[in-house]
Structure 1
Amino acid sequence: MPHGSIVESPKREAQLGRDDLRHILVVDDDPMVCMAIEVYLQRYNFRVTIAEGGEAGLRALEHKQFDLMIIDIFMPHMRGFESIQIFHERAPVIPLIAMSGYAFANLDSPAPDFLRMALELGAARCLRKPFTPHALLAAINDCLAEPRPRSDIATAVQLG
């Protein structure tokens, strides 16, 4: 997969005869992580769009509707938490799961808690790589089960 590409999983709803599958955006620069998440989520009847890198993820967000986003914290071409902050600002009502496998070379120095920082920037849940498939599914189900705030547009239309 070329860097910065967007790949949508085959339309499983056509195979299942359902149009109501939850659509998840996965943004990570590691194609193996993306592939593993995609294969696992398809088993549980999720529709998945893979975006290799932050820019591709933002393009996907502009053109498609998603029920959930899974975003890597550290990717090339985005400075650290920039990805979490930008994705949350662009789609504040879509739950965002931040993931990170970042490790420090110097184990003697105290490491910043990147996952806690991601929560402060708008992530609904965080996963430390490597995570188990069960942990991923639990985080997704928790996010999708929570009531979502209405968007400003929907609220404005309702009040008007």
Structure 2
Amino acid sequence: MAKILVVDDDPVTRNLIRAILTRDEHDVTLCAGAVEAIEALSFQPFDLLLTDIIMPQHDGFEVIQAARNLRPEMPVMILSAIDGKVPQDLTAAAFARLGVSRVIAKPINPSLLASEVLAAIVAG
């Protein structure tokens, strides 16, 4: 069981992710935005950060930066509805520079999310 911080401004997506991850007995903390997530990161240790990138006011890059400052070893996964026109290898390279271990495309495939989360946790 891992302690996972999930950050997404869409309540439907947050609840879907919680349902998928709690089914695998993970302890899931949900945040609706970057400010709330950064506060949670400041007070609690997490085994994994799963964050959306495009959110109102503050984006997921700010959450990732805070996570890197507070817990540099924590794996980070991105949720993204990246446009299909952007080459996947280019996107992966850009995210790798941020220390992102995996990118999960939206709409979310539940079995893919579960397996990618497990892989990220095992890889540390």
User: What TM bracket, shorter-length normalisation?
Assistant: 0.7 to 0.9
Give the alignment's Cα RMSD to 1 decimal. Answer: 2.0
Alignment of structure 1 residues 21-36 onto 2, 5 Å = 21-36=1-16
Matching residue within 77, 83, 87 for 1:97? 77
Matching residue within 88, 98, 118 for 1:121? 98
The 8 Å contact of residues 8 and 51 in structure 2, kept in 1 or not, is answered as yes
Task: Please report how far the alpha carbon of residue 133 of structure 1 lies from its aligned counterpart in structure 2 after TM superposition.
Answer: 0.7
The AA in structure 2 aligned to 1:39 is A
TM-score scaled to structure 1, two decimals?
0.68
Please state which structure has a larger fraction of its residues in strand: 2
Please state which structure has a larger fraction of its residues in helix: 2
Change (3 A) 1:117 1:76: same
Determine if the alignment matches structure 1 residue 48 to structure 2 residue 2.
no
The 8 Å contact of residues 100 and 115 in structure 1, kept in 2 or not, is answered as no
**Partners of 1:75 and 1:35 in 2: how far apart?**
16
The AA in structure 1 aligned to 2:101 is A
Aligned length: 122
Task: Please report how far the alpha carbon of residue 66 of structure 1 lies from its aligned counterpart in structure 2 after TM superposition.
Answer: 0.8
Alignment of structure 1 residues 1-160 onto 2, 5 Å = 21-79=1-59, 81-103=61-83, 111=86, 113-146=90-123, 148=124
Match of 1:6 in 2: none
Larger Cα-atom Rg? 1
Match of 1:12 in 2: none
1 or 2 for the larger relative contact order (CA 8 Å, sep ≥6)?
2
**Partners of 2:99 and 2:23 in 1: how far apart?**
28
- What is the DSSP-based 3-state SS (H/G/I as helix, E as strand, rest coil) of the residue aligned with 2:20? helix
The 8 Å contact of residues 102 and 116 in structure 2, kept in 1 or not, is answered as yes
- Percent of pairs identical after alignment? 32
The AA in structure 2 aligned to 1:119 is A
Change (3 A) 1:80 1:47: closer
- What is the DSSP-based 3-state SS (H/G/I as helix, E as strand, rest coil) of the residue aligned with 2:100? coil
